[in-house]
Amino acid sequence: MARVWTKKYADFASFYKDNYESTLVGIYPTAIDGIDIVETDQSQGDWSAAPLPELNITRVVDGDTMATADLGAGRFRPNLVRRGGVIVPPNSATDIYVEGQHRLQFIGIPFDFLTSLTNGNDIPMDGDFGRIHRQHLTDPFLFRVFDEMVQEARAGNPRGRMFVEGAILILLSTLNTMAQKPVEQASGGLSPTTLKRVTDYIVDNLTEQITLAQLADIAGLSVFHFCRAFKKSTGAAPYKFQTARRIEKARLLLETTDFTITDIAPMVGYETPQAFARMFRQVVGQTPTAYRQRLHHV
């Protein structure tokens, strides 16, 4: 018999801390407030959850065990294999019994955020993707994107908000395809005039946490179509274009000023020197300090 939950929870992280805190391995915030990665290490037992206003994506990190589950779309009996997972629709209580030790990672994405991100287009009105909520999913692309989000959160989110938004759009598009409701593909790139408006906006606001919705609004497109058209025109996702321009400006500041690394980080859009240094090294191949020292020895 399914549990009856008398308390309402705003998000998955607070639910887990309140009910299963002893199993928590870590909670890793993303660059978007209210969207966290939750990791737990669980034994055999009942791991049911209250209804939450989020689309929840669960990935099996370790363990290979059978379970009996109802995620809101009917009971099924999955084998929870490593690198697979399940999807729970918003506002659905779950009834889950797992037969062995297992480690999981969860990401809960508020449905209100999804509708604001997409302007309500290309996602189910209630966040329910149908039959995929009664399956154990093993799509490698879906969980590669999930892994990227986990790694980004653990690293302190150096790629910023647009990376997380872009990853979520990819997840939604993949779920739509799996539910046999693929998003219509954009046929071409942005016009030169529109592309200039968008790229000028990014360059003029390097210190800001720009959203994909802002850029899509400038282009006059849905967020899904904007992301595809932008990449077709530039060869890069919006967050990669933004990162390249930020690092380009950072290199100029390192070359021509005496600003410290701590000074430069917020000037190019990074909240901490650590996040700035991590991304600079990823793009340039050395830390900002090493880059400046090399210049002085040339």
Tokens representing 38 are 């939750």
State phi, psi for 246 to the nearest 5 degrees.
Answer: -65, -45
Q: How far apart are CA 90 and CA 71, in angstroms?
A: 10
CATH match of 12-178 with 3.90.650.10? no
Over residues 116-147, the pLDDT tens digits come to: 998 877 788 888 998 899 999 999 999 999 99
Backbone angles phi, psi at 286, to 5 degrees: -155, 165
User: 238-256 and 223-234 are packed helices; what angle lies between their axes, rounded to 10 degrees?
Assistant: 50
- pLDDT tens per residue across span 144-186: 999 999 999 999 899 999 999 999 999 998 998 888 776 665 5
Express each pLDDT in 49-63 by its tens digit: 999 999 999 999 998
Among the ranges given (3-7, 111-115, 263-267), the one the predictor scored with the smallest mean pLDDT: 3-7
Q: Residue written as tokens 């909520």? A: 133
CATH class of 245-296: mainly alpha
Inform me whether the pLDDT recorded for 25 exceeds 80.
yes
Any bridge partners for residue 105, and if so which? 39, 59
Per-chain mean pLDDT for the chain: 92
DSSP string of 156-190?
A: T-TTHHHHHHHHHHHHHHHHHHHTT-PPPPP-S--
